[in-house]
A and B are shown apart, each in its own frame.
Chain A
Amino acid sequence: MTTQIASTDEGRPSASAPEAPTSTGSRTTRVLGLATLVGFALLVLFSFVLSPADDNQGDAVRIMYIHVPSATLAYTGCFLTTLGSILYLWKRSQWWELVAYASAEIAALFTAVTLATGMLWGRPTWGVYWVWDARLTTTAMLELLLLGYLAVRRLPAEYSVRAKRAAVIGLLLVPNVIIVRQSVQWWRTLHQKPTLFSDGLDSNIEGLMLFSLFLGFVVLGLFFVWLLIHRFRVAWLEEQIADTGLDAAIAERRAEAGGVDAAGRATGPSAPGAPTLATGEAQP
């Protein structure tokens, strides 16, 4: 799995890739990308043309085919972020840290999409854009928590500093979501009836509708993986830019001594020449 997204030179014979790519694409991502494109076309076809309107929700059900998979993937991304953060703190694995960062950003996108589609579904169905439903509220809090993680991860600092700070926050992401969810659920169910979603979708879903939803999961899942790979590689490249040229930097740093050293010696009382002197010799 490690070599799938990015590998060092010895990862695979370079004969298959004689020239380094000038983008974050590779054969895997191109295949995935093509599948995603075809998938989206099919998903549009199924959602709008082939599947019927729902008895309860009417045409608004067509939003569900992207809303439900986005929500699932948003939580998947959030879980990946926590997993990556744990493995970074535990094994010091940069690979996992970058996975955590990449999936947090993608999870933020999917969460935003989930919220937007949820509101646009709610308006025709419930008559309002927003209700303080347990799931909606939890998702909104998830978005805020993710934005906090990303804000910390993007603060300018040395890689290890940024990564460590972000990893501690990423580690707490899933526990926080669980506690938020628990509290919101109690809060809403103590005073009013359970979530409104439950009567929406699961009741009488069948045939083409079920297939459309399933297709939505597959297509958005493919898209998620495709994005994750690209975003991971972008993050990887960002750190590589930061990383390159350490040897050059050391050489440059040492070269400073040349000019300054001479100046220092000119004012200094010691004679120029080989400054070798064993520690013991200076001992009286």
Chain B
Amino acid sequence: MLFSVVSVVVLLFSALLALIFNRSALKTSAVGASGAVIASLTGLIPVVKTLIVPARETLSLPCSLPVGSFSFVLDPLAAFFLVPVFILTAAAALYGVDYLKQFDGKKPLGLAWAMFNVLSASMVVVILSADAVPFLIGWEAMAAASFALVIFEHEKSQVRKAGIIYLVAGGAGALFLLAMFALFGIGSDSLAFSSFTRPAGGLASVAFLCAIMGFGLKAGFVPLHIWLPEAHPAAPSHVSAVMSGVMIKMGIYGLMRALHFLTPWQPWWGWLLITIGVVSGLLGVIFALAQHDLKRLLAYSSIENIGIITLGLGIGVLGVVKAIYPLAALGFAGALLHVVNHALFKGLLFMGAGAVLHAAGTAELEALGGLSKKMPRTAVYFLVGAAAIAGLPPLNGFVSEFFICFGAFTALRAPIQTATGAVLTIAVMAAIGTLASACFAKAFGAVFLGKSRSLKCAAVHEAGPWMGFAMGVLAAACVFIGFASPLLVAPLSAAIACGFGPRLGLEFSAAAGIPLLYISAGALTLAAVLALITVFRKFLLRGRKPAAGPTWDCGYAAPSARMQYGASSFVQPLTDFFQPMLRTQRHYSGLKGFFPAGADFHTEANSVFYNHLYAPAANLIKRLAFRYSWLQHGRLQLYILYIVVALIALLVCKL
């Protein structure tokens, strides 16, 4: 616990230093990044210790407050969430050193570094909090710091719009959390987690719904996700990586903690979580498919992954309620592990996207292409991330998706209701998996493969050394988890035991131990087979020099790079199929006359929920506000009349 405190202090102190050295980009970057890295390394010490030897350390700061207390606890569940936080923030900080260089001279970087470190510190505080007040302080500091980072390039109107949406979403979410904690604390004066009384009956469900809304807004449950695809592309890429990789997971963390205070669970909670998971997972990936902008695509894919995590959580809750413990254990394990995995590969992918954006000046898929020749390292890292996020073996994404799928399979023999949930999970996981792999084949293909589609790609350069190093670390972690999954059994079971009861921890070890060994063996086999074939191919080609030629063009004489299949065309069969959900708008100015000048066709995948749900609601409230604005009409007589009417009404009603 001491080291955790040290790490938070280091983060805050380096944030302060970064502000002080605001004038010099070099100094502020050095201070900010080294602070983040040192904090992460020190912070990881107790975390790893807790995961290896499950323990529970507490800390209470002597601060008098009328409500709440500054008490903190480090248990395996917290430790499990801290791992990705520390790893990703350290990697992102290193990445940021190179990435922020482009703003050198244009913008002071002190605030950006300070906010980045505050963001890291606030996440640590959220995870360690054992009382509602420090939790909410951390939570809001997290929102405020990330908001400041989202709005970093505030000269762009797009960014400001994203900022407003993000801000409002954060504010609304915090209010739900406030309500939730208030409900937990109904029975006692304190707001310490240990003193929470389980709200009874209907109130428990209300508290649960508050948790879903509050944490869901942060995590990005559909339809509460609208801020996510706006804010993530707007932020600098290393910040997007942290936001998407770990910050939105704080919602999942909070939900898990909240569930802890809400036992016994209701069956419909599980169903609600499953529904949210299914809807978020499917819609997230379908929306991701239709995006043209790489960072927006990644943002929607985060929604998809949150869907997968929620699905795991949902079957976990269902499993506990229906006493099908392997299902529960594997569901929770899948959710937990996917939190870590998604942090790794989504962080990696956002960094890759940032490298592309940095190099080519655009993240527009239709303008990119062929970058793997100019940025070979970035291409490899991005490929690892893409394969991992598509859930392909032998990478880490497969392991967590395996848990969830496998959990569902174990529940097939259960009574019909639960089995239905299991079947739904299996079908949806399969669909999400293939859609994600289509989506990332598109993303990787459009950016790195083929020929470059625009001049922007001509002057592209490889990412800087720190950027490369950061991505390399994350890619290595993805591969490592994929191959060494049996090592995860102990920490996962400790985290599950801590979060959902010791029984489930044991159940998990029993259910997942052997399959993980086989998966690991399978991964090694695959690696061996691939190596063998490669050697075989080398052997075949020894002494021969492959010839080079043009791509087979089916006889067409003069193909140009612009004639390549575009990213939108690649997914067009699928986006056509899902058009009712996507509501993509097509803009077509056709060829007219005998000598047509030019034609234009483009599609816009707008945020359906924003356009069809939130914008009308906001307009309704605005119109209401407008309609009643005559109340403040400017006439004194009217104003006095209000007083009279209110007085008379009070006298009549109350006397």
- A interacts with B: no
Binding site for B on A (CB under 8 A): none
